[in-house]
């Protein structure tokens, strides 16, 4: 049996790479601790763009932009330009592992006044991993990665309401097919299909003020597997609910407050005894539909633990003359359910058809694996609304 090193950690291939990351740092690839509810491909729920990344990872009810492909595709129906394109990049977990990164490309095209198409690509790069055997002999280098391809459609119903639907292909190449388990079971890249449904409602009032509400249920799809006969794992199906209010203070000053909540729609693992028998909670080896409904009431600790599975994201944004923005926010996740909590800050600049956004995650390295995370986004808006 061969042993291989992931930087300073020894593990037996093909343990999945997220497990290796967690073993090394007590951190999952999305930045949560190992107490989080387990899912595969957690990169699907990482905030990819700098605007929402600066507002505590809140974005489901913010004013529409092209990155709505991730946050709430139904908002695409309210874009002000006929075409929009955005690219975002973030070094990830950079003070733990130096070469992990998340890249995001998003595009939207208005077919007409009511209908909009969107497309996006998310790419999560785990960097280069050198393999060595028990004698420290070089066994080559492996570059694992994951990506998703999305296509979205949004339709406006009336002047203030829209619905959205997205389809997603997910590819997770995080275990090398050239190695095998001790039982001889070869590994392969995992593939899955998922769908999102969303809605967006806005209500203008007063002198230029707007209240908005949005929901987004994402990653409803097949389980993912890394072998032909091995276990199948849940995707990170997630429910986002958010509200935002924008005040037009005067001709040049605008201020927005927003608030999102998130809830994973996957089963909570039960408490088991030494023999594997369930002591408290429900069996988590269920189908995807059963897991979604079960996720609202299966926590071993009862209703109080269910509340701990909800994370919160308040955020604020100030615009001066539609050209310069200041942003801040806070993200909180219960320590027993992932433990991510951090302050976020950011700025935005608009020049002609271009928008540049930058965000910074402020947290101590002792308390957060995501400390000092940076995100960069560049967007362009072409044409006027048809």
pTM score, two decimals?
A: 0.88
Domain that holds residue 329: 4-268+309-382
Whether 301 is covered by a domain: the verdict is no
Distance CA 9, CA 35 (A): 20
CA angle 74, 90, 264 (to 5 degrees): 50
- Total number of domains in the chain: 1
The CB-side HSE value for 97 (13 A sphere, CA atoms) comes to: 28
CA angle 274, 277, 278 (to 5 degrees): 115
b/e burial code for range 162-174 (CB count within 10 A of at least 16 → b): bbbebebebbbbb
Whether 290 is covered by a domain: the verdict is no
CB 103 within 8 A of CB 377: no
CA dihedral 220, 225, 229, 231 (to 10 degrees): -80
Whether 304 is covered by a domain: the verdict is no
Q: Which residues of the chain have pLDDT under 70?
A: 1-26, 133, 175-186, 365, 384-386
Q: What is the model's pLDDT at position 25?
A: 52
Residue in 234, 241, 240, 239 with CA at minimum distance from that of residue 267: 234
Whether 284 is covered by a domain: the verdict is no
Cβ neighbours of residue 302 closer than 8 Å, sequence gap 6 or more: none
Q: What is the model's pLDDT at position 15?
A: 38
Whether 75 is covered by a domain: the verdict is yes
Distance CA 338, CA 166 (A): 27
Whether 12 is covered by a domain: the verdict is yes
Whether 166 is covered by a domain: the verdict is yes
Output the domain CATH number for residue 232: 2.40.160.60
The helix/strand/coil state of 46 is: coil
Give the number of other Cβ atoms within 10 Å of residue 182's Cβ: 8
Q: Which residues pair with 210 in a beta bridge?
A: 204, 246
CB 150 within 8 A of CB 117: no
Whether 273 is covered by a domain: the verdict is no
């Amino acid at each position: 049996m061969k042993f291989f090193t992931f930087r300073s950690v020894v593990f037996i291939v093909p343990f999945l790479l997220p497990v290796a990351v967690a073993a090394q740092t007590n951190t999952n690839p999305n930045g949560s601790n190992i107490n989080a509810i387990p899912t595969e491909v957690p990169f699907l729920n990482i905030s990819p763009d700098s605007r929402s990344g600066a507002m505590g990872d809140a974005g489901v009810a913010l004013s529409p932009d092209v990155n709505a492909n991730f946050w709430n595709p139904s908002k695409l129906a309210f874009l002000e330009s006929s075409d929009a394109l955005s690219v975002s990049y973030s070094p990830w977990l950079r003070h733990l592992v130096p070469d992990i990164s998340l890249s995001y490309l998003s595009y939207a095209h208005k077919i007409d006044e009511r209908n909009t198409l969107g497309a996006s690509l998310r790419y999560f790069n785990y960097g280069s991993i050198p393999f060595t055997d028990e004698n420290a002999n070089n066994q080559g280098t492996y570059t694992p990665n994951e990506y998703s391809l999305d296509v979205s459609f949004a339709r406006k119903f009336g002047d203030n309401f829209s619905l959205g639907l997205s389809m997603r292909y997910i590819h997770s190449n995080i275990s090398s097919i050239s190695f095998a388990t001790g039982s001889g079971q070869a590994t392969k890249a995992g593939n899955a299909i998922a769908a999102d449904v969303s809605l967006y409602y806005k209500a203008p009032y007063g002198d230029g003020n707007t209240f908005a509400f949005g929901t987004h249920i994402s990653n409803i799809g097949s389980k993912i597997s890394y072998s032909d006969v091995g276990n199948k794992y849940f995707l990170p199906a997630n429910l986002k609910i958010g509200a935002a209010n924008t005040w037009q203070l005067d001709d040049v000053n605008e201020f927005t407050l927003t608030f999102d909540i998130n809830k994973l729609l996957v089963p909570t693992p039960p408490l088991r005894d030494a023999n594997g028998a369930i002591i408290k909670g429900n069996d988590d080896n269920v189908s995807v539909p059963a897991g979604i409904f079960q996720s609202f009431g299966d926590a071993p600790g009862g209703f109080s633990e269910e509340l701990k599975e909800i994370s919160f994201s308040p955020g604020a944004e100030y615009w001066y003359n539609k050209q310069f923005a200041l942003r801040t926010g806070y993200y909180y996740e219960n320590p027993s359910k992932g433990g991510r909590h951090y302050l976020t800050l950011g700025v935005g600049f608009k020049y002609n058809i271009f928008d540049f956004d930058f965000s910074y995650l402020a947290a101590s390295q002792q308390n957060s694996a995501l400390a000092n995370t940076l995100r960069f986004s560049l967007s362009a808006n072409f044409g006027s609304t048809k």
